[in-house]
Amino acid sequence: MSRSSASFTRAQLMRPHPNQSAAAPLPGRGGLRSVRSSRGFSLIEIMMALAIGSIAIAVAIPKVKKAEASSRATIVVSDLRTFAAAFEAYAQERGGWPVEVAAGVMPTEMADRLGSTGWLRVTPLGGQYNWESDQLHGGTRYRAAICISETATAPLVVNEELWLEMDRLIDDGNLATGNFRTGVNNDPLYIIQQ
């Protein structure tokens, strides 16, 4: 091959082929690379991506927290209804309510009726379930109720929004009336019989 037919000028090598667009890969030191990828991201592009991500997170976090609170409220309400049904069945069969016990203690009469795992565990609100028989709460005596009380091993987290959500699920959405309300020390109280 003659030297004149094989030699090209640098300008000829850098010029795109007539069938290629201007953004097509060009010859370079390490092989072929595109014009766009050699530039990287600008600071403004990175800042915009971070701003969009931050806005998306700011919108999502409250919704996730609300869903979590709703889930916890639903679990406790389900527990209260299950436990209340077991206590009511006992009262129907025996003609009276089990004896009062401290928070986090299984009433001995209910050992075969309540799952010890459910009754003795720390609730999703904190605190533990507490059987209240013939007890005074806020000046009113209740014959049968389930309270959620703080214990030495399970502090109770006061969260009135969560308690209102539970009240809406159980009855009237008012913590001063209905079957679910606040009792002594503002502990959540589920009244089975007044």
Determine the average pLDDT of the residues in 117-142: 89
Domain coordinates of the chain in residue numbers?
43-193
Cβ 170 vs Cβ 180: under 8 Å: yes
Sign of CA dihedral 165, 169, 173, 179: negative
pLDDT band at 145 (very low <50, low <70, confident <90, very high): very high
pLDDT tens track for 14-54: 566 565 555 545 555 555 555 555 568 888 989 999 999 98
pLDDT of residue 2: 47
Q: Read out DSSP for 41-95? A: --HHHHHHHHHHHHHHHHHHHHHHHHHHHHHHHHHHHHHHHHHHHHHHHHHHHHS
pLDDT band at 69 (very low <50, low <70, confident <90, very high): confident
Q: Locate 92 and state its tokens.
A: 């129907």
Q: CA 129, CA 105: separation in Å to the nearest integer?
A: 8
